[in-house]
Homo-oligomer: A and B are copies of this chain.
Amino acid sequence: MFFALVIALTALSGWAHYFTQSSGLQFVTTSAAIIMLAALLGRATENVAHYAGERIGGFLNATFGNAAELIIAIFLIKEGLFDMVKASITGSIIGNLLLVLGLSVIAGGLKFKEQRFNPILAGHNASLMLLSVIALFIPAVFLKQLKPERIDTLSLIIAGLLIIAYILWLIFSMITHKEELADQAVEEEIEEGQRWGKGFSIIMLVVATVFVAITSEWLVHSIEEVAHALGWSEIFVGAFVIAIVGNAAEHSAAIFLALKNKIGASVEIAVGSSLQIALFVAPTLVFVSLIFGKQMDLIFTAYELAAIGVSAFIASSISRDGNTNWYEGVLLIVVYVILGAAFYFL
């Protein structure tokens, strides 16, 4: 029944995308398909998390979620649309840190008075977020004084350092200090009827992610037309609309897990996804741009830097104690709406 609905809606949105011209119809059908696919992804993630442990499950989810964004960004770079790439990187970071994390914390917080996760992990996440902010902030500060070719070299060096830092972080968190960062959240059993086999869970995770990526791109196309009709600016669409849709998978999975009192996994999805974008996707795109002959630099606008910096600070401040409640989710959402309004009026 559930699977039938997922397949039907996905097929319907494909039909709307390829055989109709109405962006309104495309928008509605694709949105519905994404919601169901995201629910499928949520179930698959929970099953994989059951076999792999919460953190690996969260890491897999973050990776599959960002694979879609990486692919979309590569197409944009091929077209030389560097500003839109940076806007969507910004949007993904703040969308995950504020919207995904905020909604998860509220959802979990309304059901449970207090949710706990590993404070050591929270501390490391905060330091890594700070590194991301520093890495994007420094080139912008030194910008005025530097010659263009030096900006490109500096961007390459910083991109290389971030990728090294990210690989070492994987070694640290997956190998040398795996136990310390493990989550002590209460193990909650998946109901018998919903438990899938190990292999099937992994296949479903991959299939759901792929289809979320495909349909997300369809949605992006239809939304751009809808946005144009409504008079929204390109930066607002890049940083908010695309990012919200592109992170739908993370959204539903993170909220789903928060409602199961696995807030540690929600944080891993939301914060882990942001870190992966800042420390791995963004610097990788700098190197990818070299392949296409024109290098993208790491200079973000003051608006983008302000948004990323502010998001990192409030998310750190809230998650640092390894403890969440509904009001902390409200604070994240309030900051997200303030940023959304500011970008909307830009």
Contact = CB atoms under 8 A, between A and B. Distances in A.
Interface in A126-169: 126-128, 130-131, 134-135, 137-139, 141-142, 145-146, 150, 153-154, 157-158, 161-162, 164-165, 168-169
A124 B327 contact: yes
A114 interface: yes
A317 interface: yes
Interface stretch (A198-206, A243-251, A267-275, A328-336): A328-336
A339 B154 CA distance: 10
A154 B138 CA distance: 28
A168 B306 contact: no
Nearest to A306: B141
A331 B128 contact: yes
Interface in A222-270: none
A141 B331 contact: no
Contacts of A14: none
A72 interface: no
Interface in A300-346: 302-303, 306, 310, 313-314, 316-318, 320-321, 323, 325-328, 330-331, 334-335, 337-339, 341-342, 345-346
B165 A331 contact: yes
Contacts of A123: 317, 320-321
A177 interface: yes
Interface of A: 113-114, 120, 123-124, 126-128, 130-131, 134-135, 137-139, 141-142, 145-146, 150, 153-154, 157-158, 161-162, 164-165, 168-169, 172, 176-177, 180, 302-303, 306, 310, 313-314, 316-318, 320-321, 323, 325-328, 330-331, 334-335, 337-339, 341-342, 345-346
20 contacts: A113-B176, A124-B328, A127-B331, A130-B314, A131-B334, A134-B314, A135-B338, A138-B339, A138-B342, A146-B346, A153-B345, A157-B338, A158-B338, A158-B341, A168-B327, A172-B327, A172-B330, A176-B326, A180-B325, A316-B317
